[in-house]
Structure 1
Protein backbone atom coordinates (compact mmCIF):
# COMPACT_ATOMS: atom_id res chain seq x y z
CA UNK A 1 0.00 0.00 0.00
CA UNK A 2 2.87 2.40 0.75
CA UNK A 3 5.32 1.19 -1.88
CA UNK A 4 4.41 3.80 -4.50
CA UNK A 5 4.96 7.41 -3.53
CA UNK A 6 1.92 9.33 -4.83
CA UNK A 7 2.55 12.76 -6.34
CA UNK A 8 -1.17 13.05 -7.18
CA UNK A 9 -2.05 12.68 -3.50
CA UNK A 10 0.26 15.58 -2.62
CA UNK A 11 -1.22 17.73 -5.40
CA UNK A 12 -4.73 17.03 -4.10
CA UNK A 13 -3.56 17.84 -0.56
CA UNK A 14 -2.28 21.20 -1.81
CA UNK A 15 -5.60 21.93 -3.53
CA UNK A 16 -7.45 20.95 -0.34
CA UNK A 17 -5.37 23.42 1.67
CA UNK A 18 -5.98 26.28 -0.80
CA UNK A 19 -9.73 25.64 -1.02
CA UNK A 20 -10.00 25.16 2.74
CA UNK A 21 -8.26 28.50 3.39
CA UNK A 22 -10.42 30.45 0.92
CA UNK A 23 -13.70 28.75 1.83
CA UNK A 24 -13.10 29.10 5.55
CA UNK A 25 -13.91 25.46 6.37
CA UNK A 26 -10.34 24.25 6.86
CA UNK A 27 -8.45 21.76 4.73
CA UNK A 28 -9.36 18.62 6.69
CA UNK A 29 -12.95 18.58 5.39
CA UNK A 30 -11.42 17.95 1.95
CA UNK A 31 -8.18 16.24 2.94
CA UNK A 32 -9.73 13.39 4.95
CA UNK A 33 -12.04 12.01 2.22
CA UNK A 34 -9.32 12.50 -0.43
CA UNK A 35 -6.81 10.65 1.74
CA UNK A 36 -9.22 7.73 2.05
CA UNK A 37 -8.68 6.95 -1.63
CA UNK A 38 -4.97 6.36 -0.95
CA UNK A 39 -4.66 5.08 2.63
CA UNK A 40 -6.65 3.29 5.29
CA UNK A 41 -8.87 5.49 7.49
CA UNK A 42 -6.64 5.36 10.58
CA UNK A 43 -3.57 6.41 8.60
CA UNK A 44 -5.54 9.31 7.12
CA UNK A 45 -6.43 10.51 10.62
CA UNK A 46 -2.74 10.51 11.55
CA UNK A 47 -1.71 12.32 8.38
CA UNK A 48 -4.49 14.89 8.85
CA UNK A 49 -3.30 15.83 12.33
CA UNK A 50 0.29 16.31 11.14
CA UNK A 51 -0.82 18.17 7.99
CA UNK A 52 -2.99 20.54 10.04
CA UNK A 53 -0.13 21.36 12.38
CA UNK A 54 1.88 22.84 9.50
CA UNK A 55 -1.00 24.83 8.02
CA UNK A 56 -1.97 26.19 11.43
CA UNK A 57 1.58 27.32 12.17
CA UNK A 58 1.51 29.11 8.83
CA UNK A 59 -1.84 30.77 9.56
CA UNK A 60 -0.58 31.97 12.94
CA UNK A 61 2.37 33.62 11.17
CA UNK A 62 0.03 35.25 8.61
CA UNK A 63 -2.88 36.21 10.86
CA UNK A 64 -1.46 37.12 14.25
CA UNK A 65 -3.29 40.35 15.02
CA UNK A 66 -4.89 39.44 18.29
CA UNK A 67 -6.65 36.59 20.02
CA UNK A 68 -10.03 36.44 21.71
CA UNK A 69 -8.98 35.03 25.07
CA UNK A 70 -12.54 34.35 26.21
CA UNK A 71 -13.26 32.10 23.23
CA UNK A 72 -9.82 30.56 23.56
CA UNK A 73 -10.86 29.34 27.02
CA UNK A 74 -14.58 28.55 26.60
CA UNK A 75 -14.28 27.04 23.12
CA UNK A 76 -10.67 25.88 23.10
CA UNK A 77 -10.57 23.87 26.33
CA UNK A 78 -13.69 21.76 25.54
CA UNK A 79 -12.28 21.19 22.04
CA UNK A 80 -9.04 19.77 23.43
CA UNK A 81 -10.81 17.59 26.01
CA UNK A 82 -13.29 16.16 23.51
CA UNK A 83 -10.74 15.62 20.73
CA UNK A 84 -9.05 13.20 23.15
CA UNK A 85 -12.36 11.38 23.68
CA UNK A 86 -13.05 11.26 19.93
CA UNK A 87 -9.50 10.14 19.16
CA UNK A 88 -9.60 7.33 21.72
CA UNK A 89 -13.06 6.24 20.55
CA UNK A 90 -11.90 6.14 16.91
CA UNK A 91 -9.64 3.23 17.82
CA UNK A 92 -12.63 1.30 19.19
CA UNK A 93 -14.84 1.54 16.08
CA UNK A 94 -14.60 -0.36 12.82
CA UNK A 95 -13.21 1.71 9.92
CA UNK A 96 -16.37 1.12 7.87
CA UNK A 97 -18.45 2.73 10.62
CA UNK A 98 -16.03 5.67 10.74
CA UNK A 99 -16.26 6.12 6.96
CA UNK A 100 -20.06 6.05 7.15
CA UNK A 101 -19.97 8.66 9.92
CA UNK A 102 -17.64 10.80 7.80
CA UNK A 103 -19.92 10.57 4.75
CA UNK A 104 -23.01 11.42 6.83
CA UNK A 105 -21.15 14.31 8.48
CA UNK A 106 -19.99 15.80 5.16
CA UNK A 107 -23.40 15.49 3.48
CA UNK A 108 -25.31 16.81 6.51
CA UNK A 109 -22.89 19.68 7.07
CA UNK A 110 -22.88 20.90 3.46
CA UNK A 111 -26.66 20.51 3.05
CA UNK A 112 -27.31 22.41 6.27
CA UNK A 113 -25.10 25.32 5.20
CA UNK A 114 -26.52 25.40 1.65
CA UNK A 115 -30.13 25.46 2.88
CA UNK A 116 -29.61 27.61 5.99
CA UNK A 117 -27.23 30.21 4.56
CA UNK A 118 -27.83 32.62 7.42
CA UNK A 119 -27.49 30.00 10.14
CA UNK A 120 -26.43 31.61 13.39
CA UNK A 121 -25.90 30.50 16.97
CA UNK A 122 -26.51 32.66 20.03
CA UNK A 123 -23.20 34.19 21.25
CA UNK A 124 -23.28 32.75 24.76
CA UNK A 125 -20.84 30.94 27.02
CA UNK A 126 -22.93 27.75 26.77
CA UNK A 127 -22.96 27.80 22.96
CA UNK A 128 -19.19 28.30 22.80
CA UNK A 129 -18.59 25.38 25.19
CA UNK A 130 -21.02 23.15 23.24
CA UNK A 131 -19.53 24.18 19.89
CA UNK A 132 -16.03 23.48 21.15
CA UNK A 133 -17.01 20.07 22.51
CA UNK A 134 -18.79 18.97 19.31
CA UNK A 135 -16.07 20.27 16.96
CA UNK A 136 -13.32 18.66 19.05
CA UNK A 137 -15.15 15.33 19.25
CA UNK A 138 -15.79 15.12 15.49
CA UNK A 139 -12.19 16.20 14.77
CA UNK A 140 -10.92 13.35 16.93
CA UNK A 141 -13.41 10.76 15.66
CA UNK A 142 -13.59 11.38 11.89
CA UNK A 143 -10.73 13.86 11.34
CA UNK A 144 -12.63 17.10 10.70
CA UNK A 145 -14.64 19.48 12.88
CA UNK A 146 -13.44 22.99 12.03
CA UNK A 147 -16.67 23.96 10.26
CA UNK A 148 -18.68 23.47 13.46
CA UNK A 149 -16.23 25.67 15.33
CA UNK A 150 -16.58 28.22 12.53
CA UNK A 151 -20.37 28.43 12.95
CA UNK A 152 -19.96 28.89 16.68
CA UNK A 153 -17.35 31.62 16.33
CA UNK A 154 -19.39 33.47 13.68
CA UNK A 155 -21.98 34.20 16.35
CA UNK A 156 -19.51 36.47 18.17
CA UNK A 157 -19.07 38.82 15.18
CA UNK A 158 -15.28 38.91 15.43
CA UNK A 159 -13.00 40.91 13.16
CA UNK A 160 -11.56 38.73 10.41
CA UNK A 161 -7.99 38.71 11.76
CA UNK A 162 -9.16 37.99 15.31
CA UNK A 163 -11.45 35.22 14.03
CA UNK A 164 -8.67 33.50 12.05
CA UNK A 165 -6.05 33.95 14.79
CA UNK A 166 -8.34 32.55 17.51
CA UNK A 167 -9.65 29.70 15.36
CA UNK A 168 -6.12 28.79 14.29
CA UNK A 169 -4.81 28.77 17.85
CA UNK A 170 -7.66 26.48 18.93
CA UNK A 171 -6.97 24.29 15.89
CA UNK A 172 -3.31 24.12 16.87
CA UNK A 173 -4.28 23.02 20.39
CA UNK A 174 -6.58 20.34 18.93
CA UNK A 175 -4.06 19.04 16.41
CA UNK A 176 -1.19 18.94 18.91
CA UNK A 177 -3.39 16.89 21.24
CA UNK A 178 -4.82 14.49 18.69
CA UNK A 179 -1.39 13.92 17.11
CA UNK A 180 -0.29 12.46 20.45
CA UNK A 181 -3.49 10.38 20.72
CA UNK A 182 -3.22 9.14 17.13
CA UNK A 183 0.46 8.31 17.58
CA UNK A 184 -0.36 6.27 20.67
CA UNK A 185 -3.13 4.56 18.68
CA UNK A 186 -0.57 3.60 16.02
CA UNK A 187 -2.09 5.76 13.26
CA UNK A 188 1.14 7.59 12.37
CA UNK A 189 3.00 4.67 10.83
CA UNK A 190 6.67 4.73 9.88
CA UNK A 191 5.79 3.86 6.29
CA UNK A 192 4.07 7.22 5.71
CA UNK A 193 6.71 9.42 7.38
CA UNK A 194 8.07 10.12 3.89
CA UNK A 195 4.96 12.22 3.23
CA UNK A 196 5.24 14.36 6.36
CA UNK A 197 7.96 16.84 5.17
CA UNK A 198 6.03 17.38 1.93
CA UNK A 199 2.77 17.94 3.81
CA UNK A 200 4.45 20.56 6.00
CA UNK A 201 5.61 22.45 2.90
CA UNK A 202 2.18 22.06 1.29
CA UNK A 203 0.51 23.35 4.46
CA UNK A 204 2.56 26.55 4.37
CA UNK A 205 2.37 27.07 0.59
CA UNK A 206 -1.36 26.31 0.35
CA UNK A 207 -2.21 28.71 3.16
CA UNK A 208 -0.18 31.51 1.59
CA UNK A 209 -1.75 30.99 -1.84
CA UNK A 210 -5.23 30.78 -0.29
CA UNK A 211 -4.71 34.09 1.50
CA UNK A 212 -3.47 35.71 -1.72
CA UNK A 213 -6.47 34.45 -3.75
CA UNK A 214 -8.87 35.81 -1.12
CA UNK A 215 -8.08 39.27 -2.48
CA UNK A 216 -9.63 38.36 -5.84
CA UNK A 217 -12.37 35.87 -4.94
CA UNK A 218 -15.40 36.88 -2.82
CA UNK A 219 -15.34 34.49 0.14
CA UNK A 220 -19.14 34.08 0.28
CA UNK A 221 -19.34 33.04 -3.37
CA UNK A 222 -16.43 30.67 -2.97
CA UNK A 223 -18.00 29.26 0.20
CA UNK A 224 -21.02 28.10 -1.82
CA UNK A 225 -18.70 26.38 -4.30
CA UNK A 226 -16.80 24.78 -1.40
CA UNK A 227 -20.07 23.50 0.10
CA UNK A 228 -21.00 21.97 -3.24
CA UNK A 229 -17.64 20.20 -3.33
CA UNK A 230 -18.06 18.98 0.25
CA UNK A 231 -21.51 17.59 -0.64
CA UNK A 232 -20.10 15.86 -3.72
CA UNK A 233 -17.17 14.41 -1.75
CA UNK A 234 -19.59 13.19 0.94
CA UNK A 235 -21.73 11.42 -1.67
CA UNK A 236 -18.68 9.86 -3.35
CA UNK A 237 -17.39 8.72 0.07
CA UNK A 238 -20.75 7.11 0.79
CA UNK A 239 -20.97 5.42 -2.62
CA UNK A 240 -17.44 4.06 -2.21
CA UNK A 241 -18.58 2.26 0.96
CA UNK A 242 -21.70 0.80 -0.67
CA UNK A 243 -20.16 -0.21 -4.01
Structure 2
Protein backbone atom coordinates (compact mmCIF):
# COMPACT_ATOMS: atom_id res chain seq x y z
CA UNK A 1 0.00 0.00 0.00
CA UNK A 2 1.26 3.45 -0.93
CA UNK A 3 3.17 5.48 1.66
CA UNK A 4 2.94 2.79 4.36
CA UNK A 5 6.11 2.39 6.45
CA UNK A 6 6.32 -1.35 6.95
CA UNK A 7 9.43 -1.14 9.13
CA UNK A 8 7.40 0.92 11.61
CA UNK A 9 4.63 -1.69 11.56
CA UNK A 10 7.14 -4.50 12.16
CA UNK A 11 8.56 -2.60 15.13
CA UNK A 12 5.01 -2.06 16.41
CA UNK A 13 4.49 -5.83 16.36
CA UNK A 14 7.76 -6.39 18.25
CA UNK A 15 6.70 -3.72 20.79
CA UNK A 16 3.38 -5.49 21.36
CA UNK A 17 5.01 -8.90 21.84
CA UNK A 18 7.68 -7.61 24.24
CA UNK A 19 5.18 -5.45 26.10
CA UNK A 20 2.87 -8.43 26.64
CA UNK A 21 5.64 -10.71 27.92
CA UNK A 22 7.45 -8.09 29.99
CA UNK A 23 4.26 -6.92 31.66
CA UNK A 24 4.85 -3.21 30.93
CA UNK A 25 2.43 -2.86 28.03
CA UNK A 26 3.41 -2.04 24.45
CA UNK A 27 3.24 1.77 24.75
CA UNK A 28 6.50 1.95 26.70
CA UNK A 29 8.19 0.71 23.49
CA UNK A 30 5.69 1.88 20.87
CA UNK A 31 5.73 5.59 21.77
CA UNK A 32 9.52 6.18 21.62
CA UNK A 33 9.88 3.95 18.52
CA UNK A 34 7.01 5.72 16.78
CA UNK A 35 8.58 9.05 17.68
CA UNK A 36 11.35 8.29 15.18
CA UNK A 37 8.75 8.12 12.38
CA UNK A 38 6.03 10.61 13.39
CA UNK A 39 5.71 13.87 15.26
CA UNK A 40 5.06 13.45 18.98
CA UNK A 41 1.40 14.45 18.89
CA UNK A 42 0.65 12.06 16.01
CA UNK A 43 2.18 9.12 17.86
CA UNK A 44 0.10 9.95 20.96
CA UNK A 45 -3.04 9.72 18.83
CA UNK A 46 -1.93 6.47 17.16
CA UNK A 47 -0.94 4.97 20.52
CA UNK A 48 -4.41 5.49 21.97
CA UNK A 49 -6.06 3.80 18.98
CA UNK A 50 -3.49 0.99 18.85
CA UNK A 51 -3.93 0.26 22.53
CA UNK A 52 -7.70 -0.07 22.27
CA UNK A 53 -7.19 -3.14 20.07
CA UNK A 54 -4.20 -4.38 22.06
CA UNK A 55 -6.02 -4.30 25.38
CA UNK A 56 -9.23 -5.83 24.06
CA UNK A 57 -7.06 -8.69 22.79
CA UNK A 58 -5.43 -9.18 26.19
CA UNK A 59 -8.79 -9.12 27.98
CA UNK A 60 -10.02 -11.85 25.61
CA UNK A 61 -6.83 -13.94 25.65
CA UNK A 62 -6.28 -13.80 29.41
CA UNK A 63 -9.94 -13.98 30.47
CA UNK A 64 -9.46 -15.82 33.76
CA UNK A 65 -10.99 -13.18 35.95
CA UNK A 66 -10.61 -9.46 36.56
CA UNK A 67 -9.90 -8.01 40.00
CA UNK A 68 -12.81 -5.62 40.64
CA UNK A 69 -11.12 -4.01 43.64
CA UNK A 70 -8.23 -2.82 41.49
CA UNK A 71 -10.58 -1.62 38.77
CA UNK A 72 -11.91 0.85 41.33
CA UNK A 73 -8.78 1.81 43.28
CA UNK A 74 -6.41 1.99 40.28
CA UNK A 75 -8.77 2.31 37.31
CA UNK A 76 -10.87 5.32 38.34
CA UNK A 77 -7.97 7.63 39.32
CA UNK A 78 -6.16 6.50 36.14
CA UNK A 79 -9.06 7.64 33.96
CA UNK A 80 -9.40 10.99 35.74
CA UNK A 81 -5.67 11.74 35.54
CA UNK A 82 -5.21 10.58 31.93
CA UNK A 83 -7.73 13.25 30.94
CA UNK A 84 -5.76 15.87 32.90
CA UNK A 85 -2.46 14.73 31.41
CA UNK A 86 -3.94 14.63 27.90
CA UNK A 87 -5.17 18.22 28.08
CA UNK A 88 -1.88 19.39 29.64
CA UNK A 89 0.14 17.80 26.80
CA UNK A 90 -1.31 20.38 24.40
CA UNK A 91 0.06 23.23 26.51
CA UNK A 92 3.67 22.00 26.53
CA UNK A 93 6.30 22.18 23.79
CA UNK A 94 6.75 18.87 21.93
CA UNK A 95 10.56 19.11 22.24
CA UNK A 96 10.17 19.27 26.02
CA UNK A 97 7.73 16.33 26.01
CA UNK A 98 10.07 14.19 23.89
CA UNK A 99 13.05 14.95 26.13
CA UNK A 100 10.95 14.31 29.24
CA UNK A 101 9.82 11.00 27.72
CA UNK A 102 13.44 9.91 27.25
CA UNK A 103 14.37 10.92 30.80
CA UNK A 104 11.26 9.22 32.13
CA UNK A 105 12.01 5.92 30.37
CA UNK A 106 15.71 5.91 31.27
CA UNK A 107 15.06 6.91 34.89
CA UNK A 108 12.21 4.49 35.40
CA UNK A 109 14.09 1.52 33.94
CA UNK A 110 17.19 2.24 36.05
CA UNK A 111 14.99 2.55 39.13
CA UNK A 112 13.41 -0.86 38.48
CA UNK A 113 16.80 -2.45 37.76
CA UNK A 114 18.36 -1.08 40.95
CA UNK A 115 15.29 -1.62 43.12
CA UNK A 116 14.39 -5.04 41.71
CA UNK A 117 13.21 -6.25 45.13
CA UNK A 118 11.06 -3.19 45.80
CA UNK A 119 7.65 -4.12 47.20
CA UNK A 120 4.80 -1.65 47.56
CA UNK A 121 2.26 -2.26 50.31
CA UNK A 122 -1.04 -3.59 48.93
CA UNK A 123 -3.24 -0.77 50.24
CA UNK A 124 -6.08 1.15 48.64
CA UNK A 125 -4.13 4.39 49.12
CA UNK A 126 -1.13 3.09 47.17
CA UNK A 127 -3.47 1.77 44.49
CA UNK A 128 -5.07 5.21 44.09
CA UNK A 129 -1.70 7.02 43.99
CA UNK A 130 -0.22 4.50 41.54
CA UNK A 131 -3.31 4.70 39.33
CA UNK A 132 -3.22 8.50 39.32
CA UNK A 133 0.49 8.61 38.40
CA UNK A 134 0.17 5.99 35.66
CA UNK A 135 -2.89 7.70 34.17
CA UNK A 136 -1.28 11.15 34.21
CA UNK A 137 1.88 9.76 32.59
CA UNK A 138 -0.19 7.97 29.93
CA UNK A 139 -2.04 11.18 29.06
CA UNK A 140 1.03 13.42 29.03
CA UNK A 141 3.69 11.11 27.55
CA UNK A 142 1.68 8.29 25.99
CA UNK A 143 2.89 5.57 28.37
CA UNK A 144 2.18 4.72 32.01
CA UNK A 145 2.04 0.93 32.08
CA UNK A 146 5.31 0.50 33.99
CA UNK A 147 4.02 2.54 36.95
CA UNK A 148 0.74 0.65 36.95
CA UNK A 149 2.61 -2.67 36.72
CA UNK A 150 4.70 -1.82 39.79
CA UNK A 151 1.57 -0.82 41.70
CA UNK A 152 -0.39 -3.93 40.73
CA UNK A 153 2.53 -6.25 41.56
CA UNK A 154 1.94 -5.44 45.23
CA UNK A 155 -1.39 -7.29 45.14
CA UNK A 156 0.20 -10.64 44.21
CA UNK A 157 -2.25 -11.54 41.44
CA UNK A 158 -2.16 -14.72 39.37
CA UNK A 159 -0.45 -13.98 36.03
CA UNK A 160 -3.58 -14.13 33.87
CA UNK A 161 -5.62 -12.06 36.34
CA UNK A 162 -2.79 -9.50 36.47
CA UNK A 163 -2.63 -9.13 32.68
CA UNK A 164 -6.43 -9.08 32.20
CA UNK A 165 -6.97 -6.52 34.99
CA UNK A 166 -4.12 -4.32 33.76
CA UNK A 167 -5.47 -4.53 30.20
CA UNK A 168 -9.00 -3.60 31.32
CA UNK A 169 -7.67 -0.55 33.21
CA UNK A 170 -5.51 0.35 30.21
CA UNK A 171 -8.57 0.05 27.96
CA UNK A 172 -10.43 2.52 30.18
CA UNK A 173 -7.44 4.87 29.96
CA UNK A 174 -7.15 4.59 26.17
CA UNK A 175 -10.89 4.99 25.61
CA UNK A 176 -10.82 8.22 27.63
CA UNK A 177 -7.68 9.72 26.15
CA UNK A 178 -8.77 8.97 22.57
CA UNK A 179 -11.50 11.62 22.95
CA UNK A 180 -9.04 14.06 24.56
CA UNK A 181 -6.43 13.52 21.84
CA UNK A 182 -9.07 13.89 19.13
CA UNK A 183 -10.21 17.16 20.70
CA UNK A 184 -6.56 18.26 20.85
CA UNK A 185 -6.14 17.53 17.13
CA UNK A 186 -3.65 14.66 17.58
CA UNK A 187 -5.54 12.15 15.43
CA UNK A 188 -4.70 13.17 11.88
CA UNK A 189 -6.53 12.04 8.78
CA UNK A 190 -3.31 11.15 6.92
CA UNK A 191 -2.25 8.79 9.76
CA UNK A 192 -5.51 6.81 9.78
CA UNK A 193 -4.19 4.50 7.03
CA UNK A 194 -2.13 2.81 9.77
CA UNK A 195 -5.12 2.07 12.00
CA UNK A 196 -6.29 -1.20 10.33
CA UNK A 197 -2.72 -2.54 10.47
CA UNK A 198 -2.30 -1.54 14.13
CA UNK A 199 -5.61 -3.14 15.11
CA UNK A 200 -4.46 -6.45 13.62
CA UNK A 201 -0.99 -6.09 15.15
CA UNK A 202 -2.56 -5.48 18.56
CA UNK A 203 -4.29 -8.87 18.47
CA UNK A 204 -1.49 -10.84 16.77
CA UNK A 205 1.21 -9.40 19.04
CA UNK A 206 -0.80 -10.17 22.18
CA UNK A 207 -1.44 -13.72 20.97
CA UNK A 208 2.25 -14.36 20.20
CA UNK A 209 3.24 -12.82 23.53
CA UNK A 210 0.86 -15.13 25.38
CA UNK A 211 2.33 -18.19 23.65
CA UNK A 212 5.93 -17.17 24.42
CA UNK A 213 5.02 -16.43 28.05
CA UNK A 214 4.41 -20.16 28.59
CA UNK A 215 8.07 -20.95 27.85
CA UNK A 216 9.89 -17.89 29.21
CA UNK A 217 9.58 -16.86 32.89
CA UNK A 218 8.15 -13.35 33.05
CA UNK A 219 10.72 -12.35 35.71
CA UNK A 220 13.64 -13.01 33.36
CA UNK A 221 12.02 -11.36 30.38
CA UNK A 222 11.07 -8.39 32.56
CA UNK A 223 14.74 -7.68 33.25
CA UNK A 224 15.59 -7.85 29.55
CA UNK A 225 12.67 -5.51 28.85
CA UNK A 226 14.04 -3.01 31.36
CA UNK A 227 17.40 -2.92 29.58
CA UNK A 228 15.60 -2.35 26.28
CA UNK A 229 13.56 0.48 27.83
CA UNK A 230 16.79 2.02 29.15
CA UNK A 231 18.39 1.92 25.69
CA UNK A 232 15.28 3.37 24.06
CA UNK A 233 15.18 6.13 26.70
CA UNK A 234 18.84 7.03 26.08
CA UNK A 235 18.29 6.98 22.29
CA UNK A 236 15.28 9.30 22.71
CA UNK A 237 17.35 11.74 24.77
CA UNK A 238 20.23 11.73 22.24
CA UNK A 239 17.76 12.29 19.42
CA UNK A 240 16.71 15.61 20.97
CA UNK A 241 20.28 16.93 20.92
CA UNK A 242 21.08 15.95 17.34
CA UNK A 243 17.90 17.34 15.77
TM over 0.5: yes
The equivalent residue for 2:137 is 138
Q: In structure 1, how many angstroms separate the alpha carbons of the residues matched to 2:17 and 2:155?
A: 25
5+ residue gaps, structure 1, are none
Q: In structure 2, how many angstroms separate the alpha carbons of the residues matched to 1:14 and 1:148?
A: 22
The equivalent residue for 2:196 is 197
Matches within 5 A, 1:69-84: 69-84=68-83
The equivalent residue for 2:28 is 29
Matches within 5 A, 1:96-175: 96-175=95-174
Q: In structure 2, how many angstroms separate the alpha carbons of the residues matched to 1:120 and 1:48?
A: 29
Q: Is the 8 A contact 2:130 2:151 kept in 1?
A: yes
Q: Deviations over 1:184-218 (max 9, x none)?
A: 11101000000000000000000000000111212
Corresponding residue SS for 1:75: helix
Q: In structure 2, how many angstroms separate the alpha carbons of the residues matched to 1:203 and 1:181?
A: 21
Q: In structure 1, how many angstroms separate the alpha carbons of the residues matched to 2:33 and 2:160?
A: 29
The equivalent residue for 2:214 is 215
The equivalent residue for 1:227 is 226
What TM-score do you get using the length of structure 2 for normalisation? 0.98
Q: In structure 1, how many angstroms separate the alpha carbons of the residues matched to 2:32 and 2:43?
A: 9
Corresponding residue SS for 2:122: coil
Q: What is the RMSD computed on CA atoms of the aligned residues? A: 0.8
The equivalent residue for 2:183 is 184
The equivalent residue for 2:44 is 45
The equivalent residue for 1:240 is 239
Q: Relative to structure 2, which stretch is displaced further, 193-202 or 160-169?
A: 160-169
5+ residue gaps, structure 2, are none
Superposed displacement of residue 35, structure 1: 0.4
TM superposition outliers: structure 1 runs of 4+ over 4 Å: none
Superposed displacement of residue 138, structure 1: 0.2
Q: Is the 8 A contact 2:23 2:163 kept in 1?
A: no
Q: Deviations over 1:91-127 (max 9, x none)?
A: 0000011001101110011001111111111111110
